[in-house]
A and B are shown apart, each in its own frame.
Chain A
Amino acid sequence: MSQVRFISGDEAFALGVSLARVQVISAYPITPQTIVVERLADMVEEGELDSKFVHVESEHSAMMTAMGVSAMGARAFTATSSQGLLYMAECLGYVSGGRFPIVMMNANRATALPWSIYGDHRDSLSQLDCGWIQIYVEDAQEALDMAIQGYALAESENIRLPVMVNLDGFVLTHTYEKVNIPDRETIDAFLPKRNTWDKLDLDNPVSMAFTVGPELNEEFNLLHHKASINALGELARIDKEYAKITGRSYGNAVKGYRTEDAEYVLISLGSISGLVRDAVDRLRKEGIKAGAIKIRMMRPFPKDEIAALTKNVLAIGVIDKDISFGYEGTVYTNVNSALLQKKIYIPSYNFIGGIGGRDVSVDNIESCFKEMINADTKETVRFMGLEVIDDC
């Protein structure tokens, strides 16, 4: 029997990891990820989870330990945030290029400087090119469910890539809400023990984590690229299968809301997406044809789905909890490229907000829509909810 508990995003993710019967956990604590690691350590200590917990001295070691575990054919988990993710950055490409299907939770948090423990998306977006699959969740329930689905995705034979599941720091990691926890038997049937030919095995030797010269390196990149793209279809397939056993479906890599007849669409990642839908409902009551798109996966990037949902709109806006200094938000760059490739030539605007944990209200979101509708500035990249006047 599944049970309902009032728990935080971090606790929900830890329960998901436990249900996935992860065999080794290697992690170094960092706010706001810490609770995930603490809960898993408790579960191992109390014998609820048959797993080895490895205390490592850094995030760099956490990732390399997980890679070693994965090379043995076992299921590995780690979690990090912000500076920790940047510290392990060197190892991320080893794990993805070596095709090790690790799942990592990242608690999205600002990167220094200015020093901040609060949430934004710069940490994970700075690692889009590291070859991992990147998922962003909206609430604690999706966090638990994606911890489990993350392994199904990572270990799919036509993918075999690591998956980073991103939770907004504090807004998800430390917010308590109602979460339905599936029972072990249900998840055991959905996600059997990892079974792979791609491991260190004396009887069936394979070559792993190898060097490749210029004559073949590009081809290995092509294989990695194709494996990543497979995750778009596989996510949708896994979602349907998971819905059959739990009744919960999150759709594909992109989820549209009232986009059918929308003229103005706002695109977002993660926990803010629900607030955007609230703003859409409010604007619809005023007769404005507003719509929303939630991007669940940043890599592989769902360019066809985004284009399909925006081909009849008058303008789009993208909310970025990040700015690539000197240019624009990174989600915006990705969305614009997708539209251009599909020959969708419409005005697009970039709203930078929620930086370093800044609270975003439904009024902030509404003003994004109003700015798109009024097209009242030549500036396509603008900061929302500033406390000072930007007059320079």
Chain B
Amino acid sequence: MKEITWYGRGGQGAFTASRILGAAATIKGFNALAFPSFGPERRGAPIRAFTKISEEKISDRSIVKQNDYIIILDDSLFDKELLKKLKPGGRLFINTVKNQKQFGDERIIAGDISSLAKKILNRPIVNIGILGLLLPVDDEIGIEEIYSAIDGYMPGKIAQKNKRLLEKVIEEGVTKE
């Protein structure tokens, strides 16, 4: 089973993105669960959301302990301790102005998604865009399924812009140095 934890702040769309990724996985034929960390729901408060993806039906509805991927929408939530929650071979994707070298850990993939989002969406919402860091690394979920999930589960206007952002991030998102 592939297990993913999203870290964001209330209003940044972590739960929405966890659902888009889950929906994309089901379009590809997998089973998936997506759920929030049932904490206080208020703007700005740190929240988590989870996506689980498996070929089998998923009956474990508990929160993710060890991750294949950790996705951080807001770098103020980054903590080196989070790397301990990665499975062997796991990756951490982070939206930040810092470059990858500054983190000094090859498991971390960094990208300045906020700047691209400001240009394309006119606001720094990176929840869908950050999947552009993940897609080149993951060999199961492709961009076509993400597009179908966006079309099926997001309002039309935001959907188109987010697809453009996603393409842009795939092209030039990773900040190596």
- Contacts A6-B32, A6-B153; A176 near B22 (Cβ below 8 A): yes
Q: For residue B57, which residues in chain A have a CB less than 8 angstroms away from its CB?
A: 274
**Is A118 an interface residue, CB under 8 A from the partner?**
yes
Nearest-neighbour CB distance to chain B for A20, whole angstroms, equals 25
Q: For residue A171, which residues in chain B have a CB less than 8 angstroms away from its CB?
A: 35, 61
Nearest-neighbour CB distance to chain A for B48, whole angstroms, equals 12
**Is A177 an interface residue, CB under 8 A from the partner?**
yes
Cβ contact within 8 Å between A175 and B61: yes
**How far is it, in angstroms, between the C-alpha of A362 and the C-alpha of B38 when the chains are bound?**
19
Q: For residue A277, which residues in chain B have a CB less than 8 angstroms away from its CB?
A: 59
Contact of A275 (CB < 8 Å), options: B19, B35, B38, B62: B62
Cβ contact within 8 Å between B38 and A361: no
**How far is it, in angstroms, between the C-alpha of A361 and the C-alpha of B35 when the chains are bound?**
16
- Contacts A170-B35, A175-B35, A176-B34; A6 near B22 (Cβ below 8 A): yes
Main secondary structure of the interface of A (DSSP, over half): mixed
Q: Scan residues 257-278 of chain A and give those whose CB is less than 8 A from a CB of chain B.
A: 271-275, 277-278
**Is A4 an interface residue, CB under 8 A from the partner?**
yes
- The tally of CB-CB contacts under 8 A between chains A and B is 62
Q: For residue A275, which residues in chain B have a CB less than 8 angstroms away from its CB?
A: 59-62
Nearest-neighbour CB distance to chain B for A171, whole angstroms, equals 5
Cβ contact within 8 Å between B19 and A359: no
Q: Scan residues 146-194 of chain A and give those whose CB is less than 8 A from a CB of chain B.
A: 170-171, 174-178
- Contacts A118-B38, A170-B35, A175-B33; A359 near B26 (Cβ below 8 A): no
Contact of A178 (CB < 8 Å), options: B32, B59, B149, B152: B32
Q: For residue B23, which residues in chain A have a CB less than 8 angstroms away from its CB?
A: 6, 176
| Residue from B22, B35, B57, B153 having most chain A Cβ neighbours under 10 A | B35
Q: For residue A178, which residues in chain B have a CB less than 8 angstroms away from its CB?
A: 26, 31-32
| Residue from A176, A178, A278, A359 having most chain B Cβ neighbours under 10 A | A176
Interface mask (B28-45 → A, CB under 8 Å = 1, otherwise 0): 000111111010000000
**How far is it, in angstroms, between the C-alpha of A375 and the C-alpha of B106 when the chains are bound?**
48
Q: For residue A278, which residues in chain B have a CB less than 8 angstroms away from its CB?
A: 59-60
- The chain B residue with its CB closest to the CB of A281 is B59
**How far is it, in angstroms, between the C-alpha of A272 and the C-alpha of B33 when the chains are bound?**
14
Q: For residue A6, which residues in chain B have a CB less than 8 angstroms away from its CB?
A: 19, 22-23, 26, 32, 34, 149, 152-153
**Is B65 an interface residue, CB under 8 A from the partner?**
yes
Q: For residue B22, which residues in chain A have a CB less than 8 angstroms away from its CB?
A: 6, 176-177
Q: For residue A271, which residues in chain B have a CB less than 8 angstroms away from its CB?
A: 61
Q: For residue B108, which residues in chain A have a CB less than 8 angstroms away from its CB?
A: none
**How far is it, in angstroms, between the C-alpha of A165 and the C-alpha of B35 when the chains are bound?**
21
Nearest-neighbour CB distance to chain A for B18, whole angstroms, equals 8
Nearest-neighbour CB distance to chain B for A343, whole angstroms, equals 33
Q: For residue B58, which residues in chain A have a CB less than 8 angstroms away from its CB?
A: 177, 274
**How far is it, in angstroms, between the C-alpha of A25 and the C-alpha of B149 when the chains are bound?**
31
Nearest-neighbour CB distance to chain B for A170, whole angstroms, equals 5
Nearest-neighbour CB distance to chain B for A275, whole angstroms, equals 5
Nearest-neighbour CB distance to chain A for B25, whole angstroms, equals 9
Nearest-neighbour CB distance to chain B for A365, whole angstroms, equals 10
Nearest-neighbour CB distance to chain A for B17, whole angstroms, equals 12
Q: For residue A359, which residues in chain B have a CB less than 8 angstroms away from its CB?
A: 62-63
Q: Scan residues 100-129 of chain B and give those whose CB is less than 8 A from a CB of chain A.
A: none
- The chain B residue with its CB closest to the CB of A271 is B61
Cβ contact within 8 Å between A361 and B59: no
- Contacts A6-B153, A176-B22; A360 near B35 (Cβ below 8 A): no
Q: For residue A329, which residues in chain B have a CB less than 8 angstroms away from its CB?
A: none
Nearest-neighbour CB distance to chain A for B88, whole angstroms, equals 20
| Residue from A171, A273, A357 having most chain B Cβ neighbours under 10 A | A171
Q: For residue B31, which residues in chain A have a CB less than 8 angstroms away from its CB?
A: 177-178
- The chain B residue with its CB closest to the CB of A277 is B59
Q: Scan residues 338-386 of chain A and give those whose CB is less than 8 A from a CB of chain B.
A: 357, 359-362
- Contacts A361-B62, A362-B60; A174 near B36 (Cβ below 8 A): yes
Cβ contact within 8 Å between B61 and A274: yes
**How far is it, in angstroms, between the C-alpha of A178 and the C-alpha of B153 when the chains are bound?**
13
**How far is it, in angstroms, between the C-alpha of A85 and the C-alpha of B15 when the chains are bound?**
28
Cβ contact within 8 Å between B36 and A4: no
**How far is it, in angstroms, between the C-alpha of A118 and the C-alpha of B62 when the chains are bound?**
14
* Interchain residue pairs with CB less than 8 A apart (30): A6-B22, A6-B26, A6-B153, A170-B38, A174-B36, A174-B38, A175-B33, A175-B34, A175-B35, A175-B61, A176-B23, A176-B35, A177-B22, A177-B31, A177-B32, A177-B34, A178-B32, A273-B59, A274-B59, A274-B60, A274-B61, A275-B59, A275-B61, A277-B59, A278-B59, A357-B38, A359-B62, A360-B62, A361-B65, A362-B60
Residues of A within 8 A of B (CB): 4, 6, 118, 170-171, 174-178, 271-275, 277-278, 357, 359-362
Given A118-B38, A272-B61, A362-B60, 11 extra CB contacts under 8 A:
A6-B19, A6-B153, A174-B35, A174-B36, A175-B61, A176-B22, A176-B32, A176-B33, A274-B57, A274-B58, A278-B59
Q: Top 5 closest A-B pairs, CB basis?
A: A274-B59, A6-B23, A175-B35, A176-B34, A178-B26
